[in-house]
Amino acid sequence: MKTAFITGASRGIGAGIVRQLSAGGWRVAFTYLNSEEAAAALAGETGALAIRCDERDEQQVLAASETVLKTFRHLDAFIHNAGTAWTGLVQDMPTDAWDQLFAVHVKSAFLHTRAFLPAMISAQSGNIVLVSSMWGQVGASMEVGYSACKAAQIGMMKALAKEVGPSGIRVNCVAPGVIDTDMMGGYTPEDKQALREETPLYRLGTVEDVAHAVMFLLSEEASFITGQVLPVNGGMVI
């Protein structure tokens, strides 16, 4: 049975990916931080293994990686999805907020990757998908730290794809546009309508839209695709 590990999947896009993978017959493990009840409900619904792990904490990230490898014995797919946003002017951004963003979006992607690669290399197969953002491609005003993290994920993905391609491991990013999750909690209905109007396909994205793109990148149909950014944004960034 194929195995997958997803970070930050108690809610939102990550939970959508857990559901699609489980429905597709994969064995899945995922991390969460605060949403204990949602994580337990998702585990009950899908049979996935829920692991509490603060993705900003190196020891917890390494322990979660070890649990995954011990439980599954091999890992076919690692999907890095955990993340938070910070909105505001860059001159008002505390250093700690910058560091926290980089810890959850970038450092944990590195730490899990480093932990999983030996097993993937010895299997001569594996699949890594980082959930980046269209803001990592083009940058967003008031989200300088977030955009920098999402661009860092794209840079990491490209270099890693070159480094591990010869070992049969593919590495890609999805770059979602505006996806209607809790992360959009600060937006009013009017803000959301304005975003729809800026989007050529005239709607907000869903977690299923992103999960379908991830499923495609993990599939055999994508077996010649590596080092790429797959946008899922309704045409907002072209």
CB of residue 71 to ligand NDP, shortest distance in Å: 18
Exposed (0-12), middle (13-18) or buried (19+): which is 15, by Cβ within 10 Å? buried
Interior angle at CA 149, CA 230 and CA 221, nearest 5: 20
Residue from 33, 160, 211, 217 touching ligand NDP (CB under 6 A): that is: 33
What's the token pair of residue 157? 């993905």
Spatial neighbors of 197 by CB under 8 A, at least 6 apart, are: none
Q: Where does the chain show beta strands of DSSP type E?
A: 3-6, 27-32, 49-52, 77-80, 126-131, 169-176, 229-232
Query: Looking at beta carbons only, is 34 or 125 nearer to ligand NDP?
Result: 34
Question: Taking CB under 6 A as the rule, does residue 128 contact ligand NDP?
Answer: no
Place of tokens 């992103």: 210
Instruction: Report the residue closest to ligand NDP, judged by CB.
Output: 12
User: Applying CB under 6 A, which part among 10-18, 115-123, 164-172, 189-197 lies near ligand NDP?
Assistant: 10-18
Question: Taking CB under 6 A as the rule, does residue 9 contact ligand NDP?
Answer: yes
The helix (run of H) or strand (run of E) holding residue 141 is none
User: What binding mask, one character per residue, do residues 44-83 give for ligand NDP by CB under 6 A, x or -?
Assistant: ---------xxxx------------------------xxx
Number of residues counted as binding ligand NDP (CB under 6 A): 30
Query: Looking at beta carbons only, is 75 or 236 nearer to ligand NDP?
Result: 236
Residue from 3, 5, 6, 11 touching ligand NDP (CB under 6 A): that is: 11
Q: How far is Cα 186 from Cα 208, in angstroms, rounded to an integer?
A: 21
Residue from 46, 133, 199, 226 touching ligand NDP (CB under 6 A): that is: 133
| Nearest alpha-carbon partner for 70 in 33, 104, 115 | 115
Report whether 214 contacts 13 (CB < 8 A).
no
Amino acid code (one letter) for 234? G
User: What binding mask, one character per residue, do residues 98-127 give for ligand NDP by CB under 6 A, x or -?
Assistant: ------x-----------------------
Question: Taking CB under 6 A as the rule, does residue 183 contact ligand NDP?
Answer: yes
Place of tokens 């860092």: 152
In angstroms, what is the C-alpha Rg of the chain?
A: 17
Question: Taking CB under 6 A as the rule, does residue 179 contact ligand NDP?
Answer: yes
Q: How far is Cα 56 from Cα 104, in angstroms, rounded to an integer?
A: 5
Question: Taking CB under 6 A as the rule, does residue 182 contact ligand NDP?
Answer: yes
Question: Taking CB under 6 A as the rule, does residue 231 contact ligand NDP?
Answer: no
* Residues with a known catalytic role: 146
Which residues in this chain contact ligand NDP in the complex, by CB under 6 A? Answer: 8-14, 31-35, 53-56, 81-84, 104, 131, 133, 176, 178-179, 181-184
